[in-house]
Structures are given as C-alpha cells and as structure tokens.
Amino acid sequence: MIMKSYKFLFLIIVCGLFAVGMSATNSLMLSNDSVHSVVDKMPRLKGAKNDLPAHFTKNIPYPAEARLQALEGDVWIRFVVTAEGTIRNVEIQKSVDPMLDDAVVSYVEKSGPWKPGLLNKQVVNTQMSVPVQFRLSESDRKFADQLRAFNMLEERPLFVIDNVIVEDYAAIYDYNVESVRVIKGKKALDLYGERAKYGVVVIKSKRGTPPIY
C-alpha cells in the first residue's frame, strides 16, 4: 500500500478515547536608571483592556509539541515599554520550559501598539512583569498520559490518520475518531520504515467527518 505523506501540524484532541532558565533580549537595551518600575499610570496594550495576564494567556499560542509532552505552568516575563511605545529588555523571569518561554518572548517582542506609562504626566520607560498561564485541557492530559504509557512521550511517534502519514500536526476531535491503536517494534518498522522507530499511532476517523488540517 502506497502511503501519502503530508506536512501538517498534528495536534490531536481525543477526549476519552485516547483519551530552565532561558532569557531573550532585544538588540537595543535600556539602562536601569532610565526605566521606572513604579509609575502613575501603567502602559496599556491595545485590545488587552486592564488585564494583561489574561490577554497574554488567551492570545499566546500553546506550542503543539509542548502539549504532547504535557508541559504546563506559569511563565513570568519582564520587559520595558518605552516612552515611544516600543518593547525593549525582554527577559524570562521564571521559566517553565524553553518551548513555552520562546512562545511568550516571541509574542511580547511583536506586541503592540502600546500606550506608554505616565509619571508626573510625562511618558516614561516603564518596566512590567507579567505571568502567562499555560494549562492543558483534560483531553490533552489524557492523550499525553496515553503516550507516556507507551513510552512515547520523549520521542514523538509517527501518526497515521486514515492511511495518511502525518509528519507534523493536525487537529482531529473526539467525535471524529472511530478507533485508535498503537504499533511498536518490528511490526511498526516493517509497515512504515525507519520513521516508525518510536512507534506508530494509527487513527481511523468516522466516515464523512475527515480530520481538520
């Protein structure tokens, strides 16, 4: 049987069925004596209202590989909103894992527009510290637990959906799953070759509701 191979991002949500210290900085750093941590009015990010932690948590993408490895926790990030409304001095205060840290740093560095903080009615460089929550859903935890049970958590297995090899990630929901089975060892290698050395997760979807890529 000839297998098709596609490049997709595979994030499986199978509810019930299958069921550090990194820091990054901008190229332009501001000296501490030009930055204020206490101001009369804190900087504002457009669209964030008055709840930056909630805004960051909602809008920062959860890395798919981090989900598969069941990584979760609170990443604390510190940065400066300049008097011009730009972002500088981005660094991780509290790390969870480099994958989660990188996602937060990347988002904050690209964020904006910002309204600068005010001190004595003057715009100033303002230092901010914000927690970002990464929380797995119950189905994510069940899926990670299943991978762990088959010793597939550290090294990602090959995923096959409806006889299609999925080399990255895609979304398939529990209502769309008819069956899930795991193949390991010599049988997996015989069927799918060297890329199946860490095992294979074979998923069959229900007819008429194909996976969402």
User: At which residue do the structure tokens 């994030």 appear?
Assistant: 11
pLDDT tens column, 33-87: 689 999 999 999 999 988 999 999 999 999 888 887 889 999 999 999 999 999 9
Identify the DSSP state of 83.
T
* pLDDT score of 207: 65
Please tell me whether residue 206 adopts helix, strand or coil conformation.
Answer: coil
Give whole-number Cα distances, 81 to 87, 97, 109, in Å. 5, 25, 10
User: Residue 149 is encoded by which pair of tokens?
Assistant: 């049970």
User: At which residue do the structure tokens 């981090």 appear?
Assistant: 66
pTM for the model stands at 0.65
Distance CA 153, CA 210 (A): 26
User: Residue 157 is encoded by which pair of tokens?
Assistant: 């297995």
Q: Class of 32-134 per CATH?
A: alpha beta
* pLDDT score of 2: 41
Other residues' Cβ atoms within 10 Å of the Cβ of residue 108: 22
Q: Is 164 left (phi over 0), alpha (psi -120 to 50) or beta?
A: beta
SS (H, E, C) 30-77: CCHHHEECCCCECCEECCCCCCHHHHHHHHCCCCHHHHHCCCCEEEEE
* pLDDT score of 179: 81
Spans in the chain with pLDDT lower than 50 = 1-27, 211-213
Q: Where are the domains of the chain?
A: 4-17+137-205, 32-134
